[in-house]
Amino acid sequence: MPARFTKLDNAIKAGLKNMAAKAAIDQIEYWEEQLKDVDVSGSKGILADLHSLKTKLQADEVDGDAVKKLLADLGSKTAKVAGRVDDKSVSEHLEKVGKGLEEAA
């Protein structure tokens, strides 16, 4: 597994539903950092959704339904991007991340 995805993978395994907002925001910022230089069709949409998710989690009152929808969208988009990545290891890992996000939604 690529080291850059280890924190994200561990967070998904631990359970996103139980994650504190601060920890979730840390994960989002980590993922944004990993994707900032990725030039694959669909990656910019993921970054936009991550920014939106971070904003929603920083709100005074978190809209759980909106967060669930964004997690599902991120899962779907991540799975689609996985098929466009040349590195097989990264592609396989992104598929797992996508599935984990969809399951967390």
Mean pLDDT, to the nearest integer, of 10-36?
77
Helix (H) or strand (E) holding 97: helix 88-104
Q: What is the mean pLDDT of the chain?
A: 82
Q: What is the pLDDT of residue 7?
A: 66
Question: Of the spans 5-14, 44-53, 77-86, which averages the highest pLDDT?
Answer: 44-53
Q: How far apart are CA 26 and CA 7, in angstroms?
A: 10
Query: Band of the pLDDT at 1, cuts 50, 70, 90?
Result: very low
Round to whole Å and give the CA distance between 72 and 64. 12
CA angle 91/105/58 to nearest 5° reads: 100
User: What's at 20, amino acid-wise?
Assistant: A
pLDDT at residue 8 in the model: 67
